Amino acid sequence: MTTSSRADLFRGAGAAAAAAVGVAAAGRHGSAQAAPSAEQDRKVLNLLLQVERTEAAFYEQAAAGGALTGELAEYAEVVLGHERQHVAFLEEQLGAGADPAPRFDFGQATREPQAFARTAARLEDIAVAAYNGQATNVSDAVFAAAARIVSVEARHAAWVRSIDGRDPAPDATDAPSSEDEVRDALR
């Protein structure tokens, strides 16, 4: 039996991940709901912007409320910074084509630690499902940018689940959501 170094393990895992992304990217337009176009990119980017604005507002309200302590407070601050960057990136991509920002009130979900953790995990899952669900509906350039964000959203979900004492990665894969499913979930 041979032993492998950690570096060998990471090289192998990296190669496997790269191969999986390549296979997924090669066939991603086969199940597109609409042919990728500038208008379709704008529509999808606005959907993702709605998701990111929802998350950013949630974390802003939670951080400002002062009810979170310890690692949960650290989580909220770190993730708030990420979500703000995601919002800024999407707004930059959309320019004048960005939909107006809505107002949010998350009530008790930002004032009680356990409710916060459950809602945070739910919002992060919605984000992952939104990005996954729109992957086939965008141009290659938008796909590449979105792929860099969705992995961070998945890490947010895992982190908050871990803090909450739950399985950080309960499923082997993440299901995609359609535009309508995402909008319904955000209501």
Encoded tokens for 39? 């208008």
pLDDT above 90 covers a percentage of the chain that reads 81
Q: Are 161 and 168 in contact (CB under 8 A)?
A: yes
Instruction: Look at the block and give the residue holding tokens 């940018």.
Output: 145
**Can you give the residue ranges of every domain in the chain?**
35-186
What pLDDT does residue 12 have?
A: 43
Q: Which of 138, 149, 153 is nearest to 45 (CA)?
A: 138
pLDDT above 70 covers a percentage of the chain that reads 82
Instruction: Report whether CATH 2.60.40.1180 matches the domain 35-186.
Output: no
What pLDDT does residue 3 have?
A: 45
What pLDDT does residue 55 have?
A: 99
